[in-house]
Structure 1
């Protein structure tokens, strides 16, 4: 069966996935709910104090894309403020 998100936002998905780092992923749980997790720790992501568990597939995908694009924008802004990486090494 085709992946439903392919039809939900094909161009948005391609655009965002191509332009961002993937700090967050999504996984389906045994109870068929979805969890957004931090890919390096495996722990559920949190927004404020709310863990991103028990979500629908659509909500998990939407929030995951938002979190990853937000992180990519933060990195881009940080890099533009400190193009040398922010280090104090002098040659």
Structure 2
């Protein structure tokens, strides 16, 4: 299953998490995921993709 979220470098050492379907930065709890340091961006990206995969798997099982 393809990942929904990806990283985009805005500036050196400044990353954004984007929705690959829209190309737009993601908003989580009213915070736009831009200007992130690499460590935090990668950690958040992994969490978001895992949650999205689980959500899609549950949706596929429903009749």
TM-score, shorter chain, exceeding 0.5: yes
1:79 aligns with 2:63: no
More helix per residue: 1 or 2?
A: 1
TM-score, normalised via structure 1 length = 0.63
TM-score, normalised via structure 2 length = 0.87
Instruction: Name structure 1 gaps, 5 residues minimum.
Output: 1-19, 83-91
Equivalent pairs counted in the alignment come to 63
Larger Rg: 1
More strand per residue: 1 or 2?
A: 2
Runs of 4+ in 1 over 2 A off after TM superposition: none
Instruction: Name structure 2 gaps, 5 residues minimum.
Output: none
The two structures, once aligned, show a CA RMSD in angstroms of 1.3
Q: Mapping of 1:5-84 within 5 angstroms?
A: 20-82=1-63
